[in-house]
Structure 1
């Protein structure tokens, strides 16, 4: 059995444990060390990691399939797994020395992130001075490096450069601020950098990744590392939400098979034709979201494997389908919640937790539908599109 298949099997065997610990994870407000070690032991974090340090360089659909399954068991775990897991893909685009800094001594080293450019970046000899506060760094308690977004001002008429900066744990502190209504178990706390020097080789331009370029491609020539950041990362956010919708669907069907609608003369909910229609619509929405994701990723990988240029129309379509995938998953979640009855609002019921987690994921900036759909429309009308997230 191939390595990626072993990982997939290992993840599926772990799902009952993740499901049983979902409430504990929410109450803790972060994944336990044991929880994360169990996930790492399946090889999940190796899926998008380069081969030179023991990674599997797996197909993105394999990675996203595992994420969906994990999030269907526990939304918070699926979210952290997806976000931290994709960082191994991004680091493979950095210069070789940056990869050695992180993985040279321990290929199992993990990174968290916060890409919104909320800090201050100053270009200096040999690199950059980094200061400020970054929020929403999911899983940061279990990472010893962080990827931070920042803007380097341009000189004169030169445009500003939006970059990612890689910092070790010694250069930052974590501030516990994570008190939320959803995704409570992700531990998405703030990263605070008082004043750190980041050598130039530990930074990467979003302009380069938008062109499917990166200095790490010389070391890591796999087609996996020649697909756009703007296609991979947005689906890293949408896939867990699809997984949460999947988990909520399963919980809802189980719940409705046993539910009796007292207000309607004791009729079993499963026999209610309106409930049957609602569950069919929800299932169709979840399936549509997942099928478009896999179709986009398969087409992108096929072109990258063939060495062909990835057309802008395909890249815009992937972003269009990503935000629509989130919308479809949320639509399904809302329909199922409305159909579940009063018992579903108890905090002991998984349905309400999936509902809260999915809506918390929905407000991530990458899920801004109008922005992504407008870009697609611009492309269809022959107008130029300049965005690092395509």
Structure 2
């Protein structure tokens, strides 16, 4: 049996020598697959700790997994967002919280690649292994000053912030003459913010998505900022630094699939555990009588079929959309409002499929499904938690799409 340490040794020896992106991805996928049993074994402990441990983070980092969409110029592999989605999907089958944190922190490197060149030097100049976490909602206040901004505020949902060396924080910049505030992202290094332990949740409990506090203003130089409008409209300054069109993918076309992805991964893991456990189980009595094979019940069979179909459909949606974006952007296309909103519909619908499927599966799991060591109940909680994220919430996103199709002004972020 191959050990985790041997995987990492092979990774460090071979990644830099990979002859092609396909070979590089194959090596990263091998690492993710071999780390998944450890991630799964730690899943309950990760929930109890309410964060992904530093040693698991180190294993992911040492395997090169965080560099998948990091710019090549700064030690990354500059692969596709679909490659990242697939790697996070494999890890998330073992533990949705770990898959969530890995996917979002790796994606944050893609976003840093959109910042001005000097910001990227600041982040990766001393260590190309620097990890980034983010709080997207612009709940902070950035006040213009000479050479940059004075930043202050409090942010929620700082997933994986315990393991990060930098944070990307959203903030509003007041505009003159009554114009609406302008949202921006700002990069802030560890030591200039506080992590407030507020994360006590029923789902995604191991993501450590704690509050971030800057109660006394800190200075952020102008080069460590990028406007929301720039990353949404394919006009990010960092795109001119790199040869890859990856950094011209609109933020809200590339990031939400990685929010949806853990739900699909968790459902995949839950199905596998369910099928394995059901095969050996029989009824114990009560109204059905004892000794009947649970696998023989039609409603159990239907729940499995629905869940399998949901995984297939959700994966196909996310794969298709990420591959389509790549083709469009590689061809120099600037995505229209209609294209971006249609993509947003797919992200949310993938999660919607998973919610219906895991609810159906949990309905037939029986009494053993309430045990906290059951991965099925954990997936049930985690998938429903993913669906509460506004970016992939079906009620929020479907209405935006419906408004567009019905000729109404679409309300929402796209």
TM-score (norm 2): 0.90
Residue 87 of structure 2 is aligned to residue 66 of structure 1: yes
| 1:333 partnered with 2:358 | yes
Paired residues of 2:239 and 2:245 also in contact (CA < 8 A) = no
Tell whether 2:142 aligns with 1:121: yes
**1:192 to 2:213 alignment:** yes
Determine if contact 2:271/2:308 at 8 Å carries over to the other structure.
Answer: yes
Q: Does 1:38 align with 2:63?
A: no
Secondary structure at the counterpart of residue 117 of structure 1: strand
Cα RMSD (Å): 1.5
Unaligned runs of 5+ in 2: 1-17
Kindly provide the CA deviation profile for residues 120-140 of structure 1, in whole angstroms up to 9, marking residues without a partner as x. 221222211111211111111
The aligned counterpart of 1:357 is 382
- Counterpart Cα distance in 1 of 2:405 and 2:352: 21
Choose between structure 1 and 2 for higher RCO, CA contacts under 8 A separated by at least 6 residues.
1
1:278 Cα deviation from its structure 2 partner: 1.5
Q: Counterparts of 2:386 and 2:334 in 1: how far apart (Å)?
A: 32
Q: Which residue of 1 aligns with 2:370?
A: 345
Distance 1:270 1:79 in 2: 32
Distance apart, 1:233 and its partner CA? 1.3
SS of the residue corresponding to residue 151 of structure 1 reads: strand
Matches within 5 A, 1:10-25: 10-25=31-46
Instruction: Show the counterpart of 1:370.
Output: 395
Distance 2:202 2:350 in 1: 22
Q: 1:145-224 alignment to 2 at 5 Å?
A: 145-194=166-215, 195-224=217-246
Instruction: Tell me the equivalent position of 1:239.
Output: 261
Secondary structure, in 3 states, of the residue corresponding to 1:250? helix
Give SS of 2:153's match: strand
- Give the number of equivalent residue pairs: 389
- Specify the alignment match of 1:270 in structure 2: 295
Following superposition, the deviation at residue 367 of structure 1 comes to 2.3
Q: Is the 8 A contact 1:289 1:328 kept in 2?
A: yes
Cα deviation digits, residues 261-304 of structure 1 (max 9, x gap): 23423211112222111210121112111111111111111111
Report what 1:310 is aligned to: 335
**1:53 is matched with which residue: 65, 68, 74?**
74
Aligned mates of 2:247, 2:66 — CA distance in 1: 16
Q: Kindly indicate whether the alpha-carbon contact (under 8 Å) linking 1:323 and 1:367 is maintained by their aligned counterparts in 2.
A: yes
Report the equivalent of 1:28: 49
Contact 1:97–1:201 (CA under 8 A) maintained in structure 2: yes
- The answer (yes or no) to whether the contact 2:390–2:396 under 8 Å persists in 1 is no
Shift, 1:348, TM fit: 1.8
Which residues of structure 1 form unaligned runs of 5+?
none
Contact 2:299 2:364 in 1 (8 A): no
Q: Do the aligned partners of 1:4 and 1:56 also contact (CA within 8 Å) in 2? A: no
Secondary structure of the equivalent of 2:191? helix
**Distance in 2 between the 1:386 and 1:153 partners?**
22
1:368 Cα deviation after fit: 3.0
Match of 1:109 among 127, 130, 143: 130
State the 1:157 CA deviation: 4.4
Displaced runs of 4 or more, over 3 A: 381-387
Q: Contact 2:387/2:394 (CA < 8 Å) preserved in 1?
A: no
* Cα distance in 2 for residues equivalent to 1:192 and 1:364: 21
Task: Give the C-alpha shift of residue 67 in structure 1.
Answer: 0.9
